[in-house]
Structure 1
Amino acid sequence: MLNPSTDNPSDWRLRWALLLAKIERVQSPDQGQALLAELSQPRVPTVLAFANAHAMNSMAVSTPFFEAMRSADRVLRDGSGMATLFKLLRMEPGLNLNGTDLIPRLVRAFDGRGIALFGTREPWLERAARRVREELAPHSTLTRANGFLDTGTYCLLAATHRPALIVLGMGMPRQEEVAAQLRAALDFPCLIVCGGAIIDFLGGKTPRAPLWMRKAGVEWMYRLALEPRRLFQRYVIGNPLFLTRALRLASTGRR
Structure 2
Amino acid sequence: MNRIQFLGIPIDNLTMAETLEVINNAIEQGEQLHHVVVNAGKVVAMQSDALLKESVVNSHLINADGQAVVWASKLLGTPLKERVAGIDLMESLVKLSSKNNYKIFFLGATEDIVKTVVERYAKEYGQGIIAGYRNGYFKKNEEEQIAEQISQSGAQLLFVAISSPKKEKFLYEHRDLLVNVNLIMGVGGSFDVVAGKVKRAPVWMQKTGLEWFYRFLQEPQRMWKRYLVGNTKFILLVLRERVKF
The TM-score with structure 1 as length reference comes to 0.85
**Match 1:249 to one of 237, 241, 245:** 241
Spell out, residue by residue over 1:146-199, the C-alpha distance to the aligned partner (whole angstroms, 9 max, x if none).
Answer: 111232132121122131110000011011111113322133242000111111
* Corresponding residue for residue 3 of structure 1: none
Which residue in 1 is equivalent to 2:66? 79
For the 8 Å contact 2:26–2:32, the answer to whether it is kept is no
Deviations 1:119-150 (A, max 9, x none): 00021111111112122454313311111123
1:31 CA drift (Å): 3.3
1:116 matched residue in structure 2: 105
Please state if 1:23 is matched with 2:11. yes
> Quick check: 2:161–2:189 contact (8 Å CA) kept in 1?
yes
Distance 1:58 1:42, change over 3 A: farther
Question: C-alpha separation between the residues in 2 aligned to 1:212 and 1:69?
Answer: 29
Amino acid at match of 2:119: R
Aligned Cα RMSD in Å? Answer: 2.0
Aligned residue pairs, count: 236
Which segments of 5 or more consecutive residues in structure 1 lack a partner in the other structure? 1-14
Q: Secondary structure at the match of 1:188?
A: coil
1:221 counterpart = 2:222: no
Query: Which whole-Å deviations, capped at 9, do the CAs of 1:34-66 have from their partners, x for residues lacking one?
Result: 345335546333210001001101101111111
**Aligned with 1:192 (options 184, 193, 204):** 184
> Which of residues 150, 172, 181 in structure 2 aligns to 1:180?
172
Is the 1:42–1:190 Cα contact (8 Å) retained in structure 2? no
CA offsets per residue over residues 78-107 of structure 1, 9 Å max, x none?
Answer: 111101220121122211101011111012
CA distance in 2, matches of 1:30, 1:132: 22
- The residue type paired with residue 52 of structure 1 is N
Question: TM-score if structure 2 supplies the norm length?
Answer: 0.88
Conserved? CA contact 2:136–2:162, under 8 Å: yes
Task: Note the residue ranges of structure 2 that are not aligned, 5 or more in a row.
Answer: none
The aligned counterpart of 1:142 is: 131
Give CA deviations for 1:10-46 in whole Å, capped at 9, x if unaligned: xxxxx95331xx211125x653553453355463332
Matched, 1:157 2:149: yes
> Which ranges of 4 or more aligned residues in structure 1 deviate by more than 6 Å?
none
Q: Which of residues 47, 72, 77 in structure 2 aligns to 1:90?
A: 77
SS at match of 1:118: strand
